[in-house]
Copies of this chain bind each other. A is one copy, B any other.
Amino acid sequence: MAKAIPSRSENYSEWYNELIKKADLAENSAVRGCMVIKPYGYSIWEKMQRALDDMFKETGHSNAYFPLFIPKSYLSKEASHVEGFAKECAVVTHYRLKNAEDGSGVIVDPEAKLEEELIVRPTSETVIWSTYKNWIQSYRDLPLLINQWANVVRWEMRTRIFLRTAEFLWQEGHTAHATQAEAEAETRQMLDVYARFAEEWMSMPVVRGSKTPNERFAGAEDTLCIEAMMQDGKALQAGTSHFLGQNFAKAFDVQFLNKANQQEFVWGTSWGVSTRLMGALIMAHSDDDGLVLPPKLAPIQVVIVPIYRNEEQLAQLSERILPLVKDLRKAGISVKFDDSDTNKPGWKFAEYELRGVPVRLAMGMRDFENGTVEIARRDLKTKETVPFEGILERIQALLDDIQQSIYQKALAFRQANTFKVDTWDEFKEQIEKGGFILAHWDGTSETEEAIKEETKATIRCIPFDAAAEEGVCVFSGKPSTRRVVFARAY
């Protein structure tokens, strides 16, 4: 097989890079840190978008679009926000090129300098809250529930396709509310939407919790997150939902007249997931033979490969298979009938395994005569010969089963790699082996930073479902009331 990729145990990082390349998902562009998302990868992203967008709309949100550029002065209006983003932003300073007078080519026209520099949005709180100021006057204008699908830019120094790129695609929800309680409920609701998407669509179990103050979004009062475990035991933050308090309302003077006829500052939230989810999807399920995709997000759910020696055989096989193709499509299942003669069946099998097609059917002349078909599932790599009759129902059931099965597998993996740890020596030992560590923490930033410094482990979250439990901090020995999740992370 020309397309072999390194195994995960050999080199997890190279496995990831090569898989992205060989499965035609994406590639680095000539522009530093910016990726090209190739058609096959983009079609997975489109399915993610569609599912998320439907969920946002079901929860009452509308899409809108705000400018790519943010005036420098806007970014500065919320103090911790500019602190968080100033160090890694692309700055537009001019609006024209011209031919160099010495004929050396095209140069930036020094006479076309902007009065105020523009930042390419790293996130849109500032430009959106400056707009909300004009949209919100009274409690009748609230809640304002808006989402945007957009590209954003953060000038990361070390980039990695899907996981950390200078430009990435995402959605960012920005909502405004009359009360703190309502904004907090929205923050939590959207985290739950993300968790549901991760678990039901991506088949990827997640831990829901709050970030520590150190790890909060720049400008938020509270950041909620979902954390997933990758197959190398590292954590990946898969989505965040921020309770902004009145910070941006105050920075942009967004007030409303409440029912008691008093001016009040508005309460805000923001929440986002990005093309980073593509990285999570790949690392959560795929194996040494290629992608493993949950059926709900697979661009091709079923591939059918006829095995034939001549045109006549192909004609016979096609006659039986084509009505099935039609029925599958009618049932909303995406199917590819690969009858091309440029590649052999074995090559095709390997190729569709690499691309993560969940179900593969193969039919040769013996199957044809016996009224059977071979059906293989990508996740378990098992296959069996079954009657052709009733195959549609079997495929439907199998797709459902695969969706569940890879979720259960990932969940079992996470459970097997989550450890309660109570001593510092044990902590240091376990963190080298990978996985999530449930340990007591004294609640201080100093301890959190010292642990990170010594082990590269961060507090992924304070889980919502952590039981109250008396204990002592694994690092400082000071008292603690519940365990938090530590891990090394992407």
Contacts and interface: CB of A to CB of B under 8 A. Distances in A.
A131 B36 CA distance: 8
Do most interface residues of chain A lie in helix, strand or loop, or is the interface mixed?
mixed
Contacts of A117: 108
Given A69-B31, A167-B69, A146 B96 contact: no
Most buried by B among A96, A97, A127: A97
A17 interface: no
B106 A120 contact: no
A383 interface: no
Contact of A91 (B62, B72, B95, B127): B95
A70 interface: yes
Contacts of A65: 36-37, 42, 45, 169
Interface string A82-125: 10001111111111111000000110100000000111100000
A90 B97 contact: no
Contact of A35 (B67, B89, B106, B167): B67
Given A76-B106, A93-B108, A95-B155, A68 B38 contact: no
Contacts of A310: none
Contact of A29 (B72, B119, B131): B131
Contacts of A68: 34, 120, 151, 153, 167
Given A67-B167, A90-B92, 17 more contacts: A31-B70, A34-B67, A34-B69, A36-B131, A42-B62, A46-B63, A69-B90, A73-B105, A86-B96, A86-B97, A86-B106, A88-B95, A89-B96, A90-B118, A91-B108, A140-B342, A151-B151
B34 A72 contact: no
Given A95-B88, A97-B91, A106 B69 contact: no
Nearest to A151: B68
A164 to B, nearest CB: 15
Contacts of A92: 90-93, 120
Nearest to A34: B67
Contacts of A74: 30
24 contacts: A29-B66, A29-B131, A30-B71, A30-B131, A31-B69, A31-B71, A31-B127, A34-B67, A35-B67, A43-B62, A46-B63, A67-B167, A68-B120, A68-B167, A72-B97, A72-B108, A82-B97, A86-B96, A86-B98, A87-B98, A90-B92, A91-B92, A93-B93, A97-B119
A213 interface: no
A467 interface: no
Interface string A242-276: 00000000000000000000000000000000000
A75 interface: yes
Contacts of A75: 97, 106
B87 A97 contact: yes
Interface string A138-166: 00100000100011010100000000000
Nearest to A299: B62
Nearest to A133: B30
Nearest to A98: B86
